[in-house]
Amino acid sequence: MPDYRMYDVQASLLTPLHIGSGRELLNEYDFAIHQGRTWRLNEDALLAAQDLNDPALVERLARIPPGQLLERADFRPESDFFRYVIRGTPRSEAEGAQLKEQIKDAYDQPYLPGTSLKGALRTALVCSLWAKRGLKPDARQLNRNPKFAGQKYERELLGRDPNHDLLRALHVADSVPVDADALMLVNARVIHQGGKLAAPIELEALKPDTVFRLTLKVDHALFSEWAGRERLRGQAALEQLATLVQQHTAARLKEEVAWFEKVDTARPVTDFLRQLHKMQLPSHMCLLQLGWGTGWLDKTFGSHLQADARFFDGVARDYRLTRGKRQSGDPFPKSRRVLVSIGRGSRGQITERPASSIGWLLLELHERL
């Protein structure tokens, strides 16, 4: 008998997904805009095609961005001047306009990082275990360092130290990469209560219906090093991972639907989230939100810390979670991230409306026999 369980995982995107590389791409330096598409430049190929023996051209190259070297006839998807081409364009076509880059491998192929998925699974797992064990918010349990504020709670739920952390036994591999054709460009905004939209944000993202395939392993050998009740409790939690994640997601979706129901302009987002909340999934499947769209609520103990309004007032104050004056019991956070659709009004003015949530995927875990 092997001392581990291996699962084949299929992650199907329900909405666009952005997991950033940390890099901001610049118009005419890293990409060009042409005929409704965004063309990612291959700067080396573009410069190699220039006649560097011409002093006037060399001087010009020092003054202009690479994208201005292109002619209309160069815009062909098969051209060596481009690494890939994305459907859609940023709002601004000004030189230096920014676009957040999607993470990819060395061959410009997007993939789902195992670290990103494991981080989301960890959050879902600790939130579900909190509820199952009936923990209560307690200021004495919080670390004064904001980066490790919930560390004591995590150790109580997952293990007393890094050597005994339950998630050591969970190995999540990077997915098989997909083709760059799965990329799209999306226009995003932060939306506040009342429907006000903040400054625009442009993102490379992966299209809905993109499917990633990867593996997940639960290492039973590590459990044998640990003792008694905690070992059995941890092993059971990982073997019920999809069910526990779905319990956490259901609670989050309930909160998200309630928040968006108060925003009249966000009906498409509300309707979609309501549909997700009504889904009844088998025990090997779960919904999960990942990447740029998740925000504060899915990177912490979230609503568990808000169960006691007085307690959370102190947390918000001591850890400076809000700007400006906050009234006791005010909801937190006051904003969400959405994708927007851009159109024109009856007088020709540009209009924007919330169109979609971001980062939702459906996980299917199939154990190898």
Q: What residues are paired with 34 via a beta bridge?
A: 37
CA 65 from chain center: how many Å?
A: 31
- Helix, strand or coil, per DSSP, at residue 191: strand
Which of 105-114, 123-132, 229-238, 326-335 has the largest mean confidence?
105-114
Domain identity same for 361 and 249? yes
Query: What is the structure's pLDDT at 301?
Result: 74
| Largest pairwise CA distance in the chain | 77
Q: How far apart are CA 20 and CA 114, in angstroms?
A: 14
Q: Tens of pLDDT along 54-108?
A: 787 777 777 889 898 899 999 999 999 999 999 989 988 899 999 999 999 999 9
Task: Report the domain count for the chain.
Answer: 2
Structural domain ending residue among the three candidates 73, 101, 129: 101
More confident residue, 356 or 306: 356
Share of the chain above pLDDT 90, in %: 52
Domain identity same for 52 and 11? no
Cα separations (Å) of 196 from 187, 188, 199, 256, 337?
16, 13, 10, 17, 12
Domain identity same for 128 and 74? no
Domain identity same for 189 and 315? yes
- DSSP letter string over 131-185? HHHT----GGGS-SSGGGTTHHHHHHHH-SSGGG-GGGGEEEPPPPP--GGGEEE
Query: What is the structure's pLDDT at 310?
Result: 80
Domain identity same for 226 and 268? yes
Domain of residue 167 covers: 4-19+103-367
- pTM here is 0.89
Cα separations (Å) of 36 from 160, 278, 334?
54, 37, 34
Domain identity same for 171 and 291? yes
Exposed/middle/buried for 270, CB within 10 Å: 0-12, 13-18, 19+?
buried
Structural domain ending residue among the three candidates 38, 73, 101: 101
Query: What is the structure's pLDDT at 203?
Result: 96
Domain identity same for 246 and 308? yes
Domain identity same for 62 and 159? no
Q: What phi and psi, each to the nearest 5 degrees, are found at residue 298?
A: -110, 20
pLDDT over 90 at 326, yes or no: no
- Helix, strand or coil, per DSSP, at residue 368: coil
Cα separations (Å) of 136 from 141, 303, 304?
10, 11, 8
Domain identity same for 128 and 258? yes
Structural domain ending residue among the three candidates 75, 101, 127: 101
- DSSP letter string over 245-310? HHHHHHHHHHHHHHHHTT-GGGHHHHHHHHHHHH----TTEEEEE-GGG--GGGSSSGGGGGSSHH
Query: What is the structure's pLDDT at 330?
Result: 74
* Chain position carrying tokens 């006037």: 56
Domain identity same for 157 and 209? yes
Asked if residues 183 and 104 have their Cβ atoms less than 8 Å apart, the reply is no
Region of poorest pLDDT, from 87-101, 278-292, 331-345: 331-345
Residue 276 tokens read as: 């997700």
Average pLDDT over residues 150-156: 79
Residues 6+ away with beta carbon under 8 Å from 97: 26, 27, 90, 91, 202
Domain identity same for 151 and 291? yes
Cα separations (Å) of 85 from 38, 65, 101, 109, 185?
6, 19, 13, 12, 10
Query: What is the structure's pLDDT at 230?
Result: 52
> Which DSSP helix (H) or strand (E) runs through 234?
helix 228-239
